[in-house]
Structure 1
Amino acid sequence: MNISDVERDALYKVIYARRDVRREFLDKPIADDVLARILSAGHHAPSVGFMQPWDFILVTEQATKQAIKQGFDLANAESAAQFSEDKRAAYQNIKLEGIVESPLGICVTCDRQRNGPVVIGRTIKPEMDLYSTVCAIQNMWLAARAENIGLGWVSIIHDQVLRDTLAIPDHIDIIGYLCLGYVSKFKSKPELEEFGWLPRENLERLIHKEKWSVKND
């Protein structure tokens, strides 16, 4: 199946327009068919040995979100203390989640025991199942953006909070907690770039030919 120029351009548009959304969520539910498309996009991600190790826990109850938000608040304070004093003030002014504001949360997990202990492609790099699940999240992120739905990945939270709140078994790895919802607007640049936390790296400096090379400023 060939991809037309129009379809190619649409894909690149979605990639460049993808944002990690933490604010501007609207109180508007995501229709079942739209959510099904986003989850199906995740389920069609590449996976090592075709093991498809992911599961998706959908969170809509406000009480559940509040419990997760409390876990974020504790982890966020712990994280802030790790930055230098000048960076800490800037860090504390950045909104880093939309757990309560977003209409839907999705906890994405990885079952590393799925399809047995020996899996094609994981025999030398056993962490490939974790990477496969991250690919599923990226597919969902792009699919959500194509649906004009914002998605934010909350990583500042201890796994045990999600494990206890969502009754996740001990043998299941937690990969990410995602906040999804329609938003009033998408930013023209990633929020941390716009905020001045860090600039985008120069791609040319990240490309090496044949062997690793040290790039001079």
Structure 2
Amino acid sequence: MTEHRYPSADIAAIERVIRERRDIRQFAPGALPEGLLGRLIDAAHLAPSVGYMQPWRFVRIASSATREALWGIVDAERRATAAALPTRAADFLKLKIDGIREAAEVLVVALMPGREAHIFGRRTLPEMDLASTACAIQNMWLLARAEGVGLGWVSFFDPDEVARLLAMPPGSRPVAILCLGPVAEFPPVPVLESQGWGKRLPLDEVLFEDRWKAGAGGTPTAY
């Protein structure tokens, strides 16, 4: 046992919040607890980033007009996605894919402009700016779940339309719309799993040793 190990109760709490985190679409009325939004953004800002570039930027959607315009962009992509699904368009349209209108808070997370100047850790993997931002969102997600608050990551949008709506500078790129707020419950399993869109893969299908496991990592089912 290392001297740097956390107490067992703390480790159990970390494992619990990882297991019970959910992508939330259904929100209950009410505001976030006082000061929680700032703490959530602070948790995101403590995330690791390649070359310490800290590429994440957050836009809080404060006005109802901007929130409604953002919802319109998401709804347009929802309908376009349904039209592009080969077999499950009707099933997809039954899903609630966002909580923009109901959530207590809405944030747009974007990549900063000027990222090409950061070479450290990105020369062959420029997408590490996005990976770093995903780490920031996960930090926020886990703290939100520990606080009993729902967070949903919405990815159904045209990034150029969102960038225009929010007057983002050239070179920046929105990558997530986050909906946050109180919830009536946290589903025991992910909603898409409970509705037959997928299932958690067993570890032997995602963990290999020395080289890619023969027969693993096949093409997923197309919808």
Specify if TM > 0.5. yes
- Separation (CA, whole Å) in 1 of partners of 2:118 and 2:90: 48
**Structure 1 position 33, deviation (Å):** 1.8
**1:105 aligns to what?**
106
Deviation, 1:209, is: 0.9
1:26-77 CA deviation, whole Å, 9 max, x = no partner? 2211134211211111001110111111111111322111101111111111
Question: 2:120 maps to which residue?
Answer: 120
Provide TM-score, normalisation by structure 1: 0.93
Q: Which residue of the partner structure matches residue 221 of structure 2? A: none
1:9 aligns with 2:9: no
Aligned to 1:196: 196
Q: Secondary structure of 1:99's partner?
A: coil
**CA pair 118-180 structure 1, distance change in 2 beyond 3 A:** closer
Q: How many residue pairs get matched? A: 214
Partner of 1:168: 168
**What SS does structure 2 have at the residue aligned with 1:105?**
strand
**Separation in 2, partners of 1:71, 1:123:** 33
Q: Please tell me the residue identity of whatever aligns with 1:2.
A: R
Correspondences of 1:61-210 after superposition (within 5 Å): 61-84=63-86, 86-113=87-114, 117-210=117-210
Alpha-carbon distance, 1:215 to partner? 3.6
Amino acid in the other structure paired with 1:6 = A
CA contact (8 A) 2:58 2:108 kept: yes
State the alpha-carbon separation in 1 of the partners of residues 30 and 47 from structure 2: 27
Q: What are structure 2's unaligned runs of at least 5 residues?
A: 219-223
Structure 2 CA distance, aligned partners of 1:196 and 1:47? 35
- Identity of aligned pairs, percent? 37
Matched residue type, 1:148: G
- Structure 1 segment 31-50 matched on structure 2, within 5 A: 31-50=33-52
Q: Deviations 1:141-193 (Å, cap 9, x if unpaired)?
A: 11111111101111111112211221111211212111000101110010000
Task: Give the unaligned 5+ runs of structure 1.
Answer: none
Question: Tell me, what secondary structure is at the counterpart of 1:162?
Answer: helix
Q: Please list every run of at least 4 consecutive aligned residues from structure 1 whose deviation after the TM superposition is greater than 4 angstroms.
A: none
In 2 relative to 1, CA 103–144 (structure 1 residues): closer, same or farther, beyond 3 Å?
A: same
- Residue identity opposite 2:106 in structure 1: G
TM-score, normalised relative to structure 2: 0.90
SS at match of 1:20: coil
Letter matched to residue 144 of structure 1: A
CA-to-aligned-CA distance 1:61-107 (integer Å, 9 cap, x gap): 221111011111111111001112x4111111111111101011111
Is the 1:15–1:142 Cα contact (8 Å) retained in structure 2?
A: yes
Distance 1:41 1:107 in 2: 16
RMSD: 1.7
CA contact (8 A) 2:53 2:118 kept: no
Work out whether 1:55 is the aligned partner of 2:57.
Answer: yes
Aligned-partner Cα distance in 1 for 2:72–2:40:
27
Aligned to 1:18: 21
